[in-house]
Amino acid sequence: MSDSSVSGDYFVIRALENGVQVIGMTRGAQTRFHHSEKLDKNEVMIAQFTEHTSAMKIRGKAVLYTSYGQIRTDGGDET
């Protein structure tokens, strides 16, 4: 992968329950789903935005660790 195909920092998604869905979405005139992963409790995924992935949708309880801080999908404090 060349540097030109990478457009973002890495971030980490940690599932807080079984069945958390991570859905990658494409760039372009139409936004489309292009990849999906399912995580079980305490599984971790390391992800990065690329020239093909411009957004991600997270379904279920999870914590995202980014260079901007932590984000919980349920809005609570991490336990």
Confidence at residue 8, expressed as pLDDT on a 0 to 100 scale: 65
- The better pLDDT of the pair 8, 1 is held by 8
Q: Residue range 37-59: average pLDDT? A: 90
Q: Which long-range contacts (CB under 8 A, 24 or more apart) does 55-58 make?
A: 55/24, 55/25, 55/31, 56/22, 56/23, 56/24, 56/25, 57/21, 57/22, 57/23, 57/25, 58/13, 58/20, 58/21, 58/22, 58/23
The answer to whether 62 touches 16, Cβ cutoff 8 Å, is yes
Region of poorest pLDDT, from 25-29, 61-65, 71-75: 25-29
CATH fold for domain 3-67:
Immunoglobulin-like (2.60.40)
